[in-house]
Chains A and B, each alone.
Chain A
Amino acid sequence: MKKFKENLPGHIFLLLALSSISALALITGFIVVRGAPIITDVGLKDFAFGMSWAPSLEEYGIFPMIIGTVAVSLGAALIGVPIGICCSIFLSEFAPPFITAIFRPAIQLLAGIPSVVYGFWGLIFIVPFIRDYLGGPGLSILAASIILAIMILPTVISISEVSLLALPKQYKEGALALGLTHWQTIRIVMLPAAKSGIVAAVILGIGRAIGETMAVIMIVGNAVAMPESILDPVRTLTTNIGIEMGYATGVHQEALFATGIVLFIVIMILNATAQYIVSSGKQARGKERQKS
């Protein structure tokens, strides 16, 4: 009895810890059970590469949405990643302390803005701007890419900055001592050495862009069609679920769950890749430390 009492806290914490893991198992299991049948019914090929999504006609092809997701996320990465990496270089290498003291919390705040606010702001400012100056309906791949680029900035900046700051300072000193300029030192020695962390930052940022729903629903147009330019509206995998879940029943609902499976797998692969890259980078650095 005494022993049980002594171990009690451990058991309670184990139980609580299990509940979070079991949530993962429950959700995964549920999505698979509900979504898998339709994939087998329609066939994986027709589901993933089908061009037509028309639940009323029982046509469930999500290829345009896969393209939509890829286009929007790629656009977000193209805009957000260079800005994010430059920002992290600025913060870790160039910014005087008082600037860092303002920038860092500000960037954290950027991560705290609710996505519906991003979407609303995009709808009021970005969408009309694109419509008036670039053409098209405004609700478009470009609009979503811009908003998502801003939304992934905190992830890209903070993870790249951490990986730059984690570099052994001997690298920087060694390069400077050879008469390289500060920028040469960053470009030739520091960025390559921090590569694994920066790549992970980019992947996690893209993962965030793929998974984002609310802001995207509001500005991407949601038309189920193959886009011809970045000014065209598209529908993404997430917005497909977000828009139709309210009224979908039966097979239609299963098709949405199946969309969820596809999303789930893509994001899992991205996260696992990022984890792997980070840990292999750490290992390589650990080996160096052992040696030196």
Chain B
Amino acid sequence: MEKTQKKIKIKVEKINLFYGTSHALGDINADIYENSITAVIGPSGCGKSTFLRLFNRMNDLIPGVTINGRILLNGENIYAKDTYVVELRKKVGMVFQKPNIFPMSIRDNVIIGPKHHGTKKKQDLDIIVERSLRQAALWDDFKDNLFKPGLSLSPGEQQRLCIARALAVEPEIILFDESCSALDPESTMRIEDLMSELSKKYTIIIVTHNMEQAARVSHMSAFFMIDDDKIGRLVEYRPTGDMFANPKDKRTEDYITGRYG
């Protein structure tokens, strides 16, 4: 599964993040490769979700947050002063921990992004709906029921609808924030299959509590842990196969063998 020769899509450079005065992420450097799946793992509270939310600037919503350092997406710093966050989020889609389908029909959920980004014609939107639902493996089941309320779907289907909704915006990167943690094993499998499929076209970063999941789907793994000062650190970042077979750091080894957390 080693794909380190791939092109660098995102460069994380010396990122430090503070919630008020508490130092949550310290000196993070990492290269994220294009068309690969990068798994972010580590015990609870190590800052892995915060790290993921750096890429679509979701941390900006939290009052009192300070971020130093640079993240280069296609060579451009997304933390530059003149970055338009709304445009950034069109390029970096996100699927959340719990399916957060809006209380509207399946179709309306899918088109909400493109529609309000300026695609108004019904035919164009129809094409987007079909393409996105096909990519999320929902089309065959729901093509005759597009006006069904999104909330009537099962949790696993809802999560795939969230994926379709994110894909409809045609992002380059998709972030998955523990997106399978609320799902049953079968739904989880389907989403993992989807991730693998999608990684051919998109750059994917996932946060997961599930070691097997990281080992199964990801090409690269980033292990986070807090140090003695409670600062979240990137301890080890390597191709997943390597890292799971022989972790270099003692802490990584303890964690992935289950001796910690």
- Whether A288 and B151, one on each chain, are in contact in the complex, defined by CB atoms closer than 8 angstroms, is yes
Chain A residues with Cβ below 8 Å from B90 are 178-179
Which residues from 48 to 76 on chain B have a C-beta closer than 8 Å to any C-beta of chain A? 56, 58, 61, 63
Min CB distance, B200 to chain A, in Å?
Answer: 22
Tell me, yes or no, whether B248 is within 8 Å of chain A by CB: no
**Cβ–Cβ contact A173 & B113, under 8 A:** no
Q: Does A36 contact B (CB under 8 A)?
A: no
Q: Are A173 and B93 in contact (CB under 8 A)?
A: no
Q: Smallest CB-CB separation from A182: which chain B residue?
A: B86
Contact B102 A193 (CB under 8 A): yes
| B residues near A288, Cβ cutoff 8 Å | 103, 151
Most buried by B among A175, A176, A192, A287: A176
Closest-CB distance, A113 to chain B (whole angstroms): 32
| Chain A: CB-nearest residue to B171 | A179
In Å, the complex CA distance between A175 and B109 comes to 10
Contact check: which of B63, B103, B113, B182 meets A178 at CB < 8 Å?
B113
Q: Which of B160-175 contact A (CB under 8 A)?
A: 162, 165-166, 169
Structural contact, A177 and B61, CB atoms closer than 8 A? no
Q: How many residues of chain A get a CB closer than 8 Å to chain B's CBs?
A: 24
Report Cα–Cα, A291/B152, bound state, in Å: 9
- Determine which of B88, B155, B162 lies in contact with A291 in the assembled complex, contact meaning CB atoms within 8 Å: B155
A-B contact count (CB 8 A): 71
Whether B102 and A189, one on each chain, are in contact in the complex, defined by CB atoms closer than 8 angstroms, is yes
Taking CB as reference atom, which chain A residue is nearest B108?
A188
**Chain B residues, CB < 8 A from A170:** 96, 98, 100
Q: How far is the CA of A179 from the CA of B168 in the complex (A)?
A: 11
**In the bound complex, do residue A175 and residue B169 qualify as a contact, i.e. CB atoms below 8 Å apart?**
no
CA distance A173 to B89 in the complex (A): 11
Nearest Cβ distance between residue A58 and chain B, in whole angstroms?
A: 56
Closest chain B residue to A184, Cβ basis:
B116
Min C-beta distance of B75 to chain A, whole Å? 20
Q: Which residues does chain B contribute within 8 Å of A82, judged by CB atoms? A: none
Question: Which residues of the partner chain B approach A188 to less than 8 Å between Cβ atoms?
Answer: 112, 116
Find out whether the CB atom of B112 lies under 8 angstroms from the CB atom of A193.
no
Is A178 within 8 A of B96, CB to CB? Answer: no
Report yes or no: B112 in contact with A179, Cβ–Cβ below 8 A: no
Q: How many whole Å from B109's CB to the nearest CB in chain A?
A: 10
**A284: nearest chain-B partner, CB-CB:** B103
Question: Are A292 and B86 also in contact (CB < 8 A) when A176-B61, A188-B112, A188-B116 are?
Answer: no
In the assembled complex, B87 has its CB within 8 A of some CB on chain A: yes
Q: Which A278-292 residues have C-beta < 8 A from chain B?
A: 284, 287-288, 291-292
A interface residues, Cβ below 8 angstroms from B: 97, 168, 170-181, 184, 188-189, 192-193, 284, 287-288, 291-292
- Taking A178-B166, A189-B102, A189-B112 as given, write out 9 further A-B residue pairs in contact, using a Cβ cutoff of 8 Å, ordered by the A residue number: A97-B63, A174-B96, A174-B102, A174-B162, A175-B102, A178-B112, A188-B112, A284-B103, A292-B99
Using a CB–CB distance below 8 Å, which chain B residues touch chain A? 56, 58, 61, 63, 86-90, 93-94, 96, 98-100, 102-104, 112-113, 116-117, 151, 155, 158, 162, 165-166, 169, 182
Instruction: Give 22 CB contacts A-B under 8 Å.
Output: A170-B96, A170-B98, A171-B100, A171-B102, A173-B58, A173-B96, A174-B102, A174-B162, A177-B89, A177-B93, A177-B166, A179-B113, A180-B86, A180-B113, A189-B102, A189-B112, A193-B102, A284-B103, A288-B151, A291-B151, A291-B158, A292-B155
